[in-house]
Amino acid sequence: MRAKIIGTGYSLPAFRADNDYLATLVDTSDEWISERTGIRARHLAKEETTLSMSAEAARMALERANFRAEDVELLIVATITGDMDTPSTACQVQKEIGAKHALAFDINAACSGFLYSLHVAEAFIESGTYRNALLIGAETLSKIVDWTDRTTCVLFGDGAGAALVTASENGGLLSQSLGSNGEKWDVLFCEGRPNENPLRAKGQKCGYLKMDGQEVFKFAVRTVPQCIEDALAKAGLKPEEIDLFILHQANKRIIQAVAKRLGMAEEEFPMNMDECGNTSAASLPILLAQLDERGRLHPGDRIVLSGFGAGLTWGACVLEW
């Protein structure tokens, strides 16, 4: 049995902040942001939370698959920005949508989180432990971004995407290639809340997201093509046999470099970072759900999903729709 996606959903905050709006907050411009990244706008949470967006995306995925929440057996939320330190966002979503029979937990793998959740779901489904899994990638990055730092705050957005996966004899996940390199954790990180117990020095501050952009860029253009090629080799496929390459939406130039390395046309790499920015773990499932909504995914299509991010973490998978 293979893990197959049978329903997708997404949720974006109502407030759309374009680049001109950001130029009122920090010393930047629409020209710099759009030329260097391809981002023109992003959605930022005013009222929305990681939980509310997760639940909305999950409900849409279940509805599109015509599947009952109470039949969900595994519920995983990939996030680095849960509303609470504990319980997990997954347990909160479980209550919110009524997935009362599911085993629920979160995964922290930054922008690769959705692919990691798919990896875990596939192992459970292949082993026969569970017959289905509801996977959600959700982030409220606007709460960990330093809104005085123009080198990071212009890049990120908020949102959630979801995919319902079930055991299937036809199609589904054909191969995967994932990795982690903790040696490089310090090129992209966000410190947690400080320890204020009576034994510690006072005055420590909560951290914000910090990134060495050029290091992450170099890592991405080197590693993403490698892991896609590895996943393709495992599936016995060549790049030209793939219908769509759905990549983590961090930077248009990274996607263009990956397309070039694989010898593929940019048109086969759909993008939404112009409207959503980089939504970390939510980026892949949001784009997948939007493509599904627009009728861009057809039964039998071969699709590559690939992501990379803090950890460092990365991954690619090949699936048949």
Residues identified as active-site: 111, 248, 278
Task: Examine residue 105 and tell whether it contacts ligand UT7 (CB under 6 A).
Answer: no
How many residues of this chain interact with ligand UT7, rule: CB under 6 A? 20
Member of 8, 50, 166, 278 binding ligand UT7 (CB under 6 A): 278
Nearest-approach distance from CB 271 to ligand UT7, in angstroms? 13
Residues 60, 136 contacting (CB under 8 angstroms):
no
Work out whether 251 is an interface residue with ligand UT7 (CB under 6 A): yes
Q: Is 32 in the site for ligand UT7 (CB under 6 A)?
A: yes
State yes or no: residue 36 binds ligand UT7 (CB under 6 A).
yes
Backbone angles phi, psi at 254, to 5 degrees: -65, -45
**Residue closer to ligand UT7 (CB basis): 13 or 113:** 113
How many angstroms separate the CA atoms of 299 and 52, rounded?
A: 31
SS3 273: helix
Tell me the two tokens of residue 119: 């990896």
- Tell me how far, at minimum, the Cβ of 265 lies from ligand UT7, in Å: 22
Short-list 31, 6, 36, 9, CA closest to 18: 31
Indicate which single residue of 217, 261, 274, 293 sits in contact with ligand UT7 (rule: CB under 6 A).
217
Structure tokens that stand for 242 in this block: 């793939």
Cα 249 to Cα 272: distance, rounded to the nearest angstrom: 7
CB of 248 to ligand UT7, least distance (A): 6
Which residue, 171 or 207, is less far from ligand UT7 as judged by CB?
A: 207
The tally of CA atoms less than 13 A away on the side-chain side of residue 162 is 31
| Cis peptide preceding 135, ω within 30 of 0 | no
Query: Cα–Cα distance between 264 and 311 in angstroms, integer?
Result: 28
Which of 69, 76, 97, 111 is close enough to bind ligand UT7 by CB under 6 A?
A: 111
Cα-flanking dihedrals φ and ψ of residue 192, to 5°?
-85, -170
Q: Which of 250, 262, 288, 297 binds ligand UT7 (CB under 6 A)?
A: 250
Per CB under 6 A, 42 contacts ligand UT7: no
Binding of ligand UT7 by 225 (CB under 6 A): no
Question: What DSSP line would sit under 209-225, residue for residue?
Answer: EEE-HHHHHHHHHHHHH
List residues binding ligand UT7 (CB under 6 A): 28, 32-33, 36-37, 111, 150-151, 154, 188, 211, 213-214, 216-217, 220, 250-251, 278, 309
